[in-house]
A and B are shown apart, each in its own frame.
Chain A
């Protein structure tokens, strides 16, 4: 039952081989007993590393479990099958004045994938993670048991499955709460800042009055300009602001059709891009009304942009570190990356707020988070990232599993000491390449 394109993760690393079966109906009982080896749900393959891969096992493809079940236009409560994408939810909900409570940087993820990785977005400090807004879901275990999970029903399994990386069973449908909007626009301010100190000052003064904050970082800048970039902050536009917005233009979708040659994202080209991006603003501070699509999903307009990195793929790295050490950690990490010459095309930084974690294994916590992608240059990059893990660990931070393809078992187990407690909720027949790697002794 192979597909035209074999399942892979978004970073296209590591390369794995596994069987895959399509699931079509949540009312059917999947043929678990005829599957040999372990299984893992797989949605759109937008996780970067290997949390969505199962080398030597089987993937349960949820893409076709794509039915809406209910949508209350009055309360914004929506229930849909596991494989519905956030893009489809937006297409349905936005015209009725509803929006995703929390959204990651791409809308091409499935709703169950958003729950399984307890994803976050630019509004973490005000709205928390996606998991916080989930009311209830149905979980199918490999013994065909169906569990309704919520804060009141099977609450422990509910908490383990949010951020549970698909290991606790197959989510069949999810119900969650949407957020009211007056129009599809964000009242946005972009501020060019010159160094890390300015970033932290901006972040602190913005958290109280802006729902969305994020900064793009020029990670090739060094010395006094270390951490410089563009700080973006915004709120959902009010009805009054929205009325002044120009009519939305249909943007063309570009598909990146082939694997790019390796030199495309090499140091000189990335350096040029970063410099241009930093200086694109003639004024230090600009305000405008932005449509939600380019604001939340700048990369979605280029489908398959991961192919820009060529066949060898790329590595994503994201950590969060508590505020006490945030300046030192980010400075050290940025400095090491700049020194290594491994150019990062897109690096973003933001501060997370104080929110109780929705899931047992959730990544977000109060502090500063930095996410960057690096071309897969083999040993050199892997060694660098190992060093970064150590710095993050020393400073009380953690690394994000949904983006990881390489962290050591030792580091993972130090980052997430609750992993043994979590393991009790894993379905005995479910596993992933990630999980085997980080629990290997």
Chain B
């Protein structure tokens, strides 16, 4: 049994992760922005046999609330073993190119808010000298492409941050898992044409649960994305800049 805090608990991947967690008897504390959706998810998990499912409405952009959220989770669950950060937005790249404020919001949601939450979580876990932090980054953060480099650079910064955090927390016995999913069939991508590259939220969530149990460092889900991204990273910049990606 693990005690897990999930940020962005109404995201499709987080929801499937929560279902897998309760099948394993874990206690959950769910945080998300929309009260109605949060209630829908929590009720579903309770019917499915969740022994302890607590909720708190949160706004990821309200950094001042993050410390009290963490404290509420620790108190409600009687301690904390795992934190999964799953919130994020896939913004409109074109709009962000025209308007800095659109880009800024995307950095705040996808990167800065995670840094704020992790600041509190890291020091808590460092003190108790155990715990697992899993954060959903993206393959988009591995290299900048013209079609989504705002989202990509936010996720890229997040991946680098996590790499540093992992290095710092290693001595304290705390593991940091960077999750890099490829395309996932979720509301975030409902406007995209689906192809064979798309994975189901269930499959990605199962991969995350496994990665946490095995205390992995960086995982690509599904695994074939590691191959794809290795090739993409190897293309020389002089050639890469000419590609329409």
Contacts and interface: CB of A to CB of B under 8 A. Distances in A.
Given A25-B36, A70-B47, A71-B47, A4 B195 contact: yes
A121 B150 CA distance: 54
Contact of B47 (A1, A24, A27, A92): A92
Contacts of B193: 2
Contact of B40 (A4, A21, A67): A67
Question: What is the interface residue range for chain B against chain A?
Answer: 10 to 19
Contacts of B198: 4
A303 B36 CA distance: 35
B43 A69 contact: yes
A353 B30 CA distance: 49
Interface in B93-144: none
A70 B36 CA distance: 15
B43 A67 contact: yes
A7 to B, nearest CB: 12
A69 B40 CA distance: 7
Contacts of A68: 43-44, 47-48
A26 B40 CA distance: 9
Contacts of B49: 92
Nearest to B197: A4
- Residue among B36, B37, B47 with the most chain A CB within 10 A? B47
Contact of A22 (B36, B41, B47, B190): B190
Nearest to B47: A68
Contacts of A22: 187, 190
B231 interface: no
Nearest to A79: B47
A3 interface: yes
A3 B48 contact: no
A4 B37 CA distance: 27
Interface in A51-105: 67-71, 80, 92
B196 interface: yes
Contact of A4 (B43, B47, B48, B196): B196
Nearest to A21: B190
A24 B190 CA distance: 10
Contact of A27 (B36, B44, B48, B195): B36
B191 interface: yes
Nearest to B41: A67
Contact of A2 (B37, B41, B48, B194): B194
A27 B43 CA distance: 14
Contacts of B194: 2-4
Contacts of A67: 40-41, 43-44
Interface string B151-194: 00000000000000000000000000000000000010011011
Contacts of A21: 190
Contacts of B34: 27
Interface string A1-31: 1111000000000000000011011110000
A24 B12 CA distance: 9
Contact of A70 (B12, B43, B195): B43
B191 A27 contact: no
A27 B190 contact: no
A266 to B, nearest CB: 32
Nearest to A22: B190
Nearest to B42: A67
Interface in B6-37: 12, 34, 36-37
A24 B40 contact: no
Nearest to B36: A27
A198 to B, nearest CB: 46
Contact of B37 (A25, A70, A80): A25
B191 to A, nearest CB: 7
A67 B36 CA distance: 13
Contacts of B48: 68, 92
Nearest to B193: A2
A67 B16 CA distance: 11
Contacts of A4: 194-196, 198
A21 B194 CA distance: 13
B191 A1 contact: yes
A1 B40 contact: no
A1 B190 contact: yes
B205 to A, nearest CB: 14
A27 B40 contact: yes
Interface of A: 1-4, 21-22, 24-27, 67-71, 80, 92
The 4 closest A-B pairs by CB, nearest first: A68-B47, A27-B36, A67-B44, A4-B194
18 contacts: A1-B190, A2-B193, A2-B194, A4-B198, A21-B190, A22-B187, A25-B36, A25-B40, A26-B40, A27-B34, A27-B36, A68-B47, A69-B40, A69-B44, A70-B43, A70-B47, A80-B47, A92-B47
Given A4-B198, A68-B43, 14 more contacts: A1-B191, A4-B194, A4-B196, A22-B190, A25-B37, A25-B40, A67-B40, A67-B41, A68-B47, A69-B43, A69-B47, A70-B47, A92-B48, A92-B49
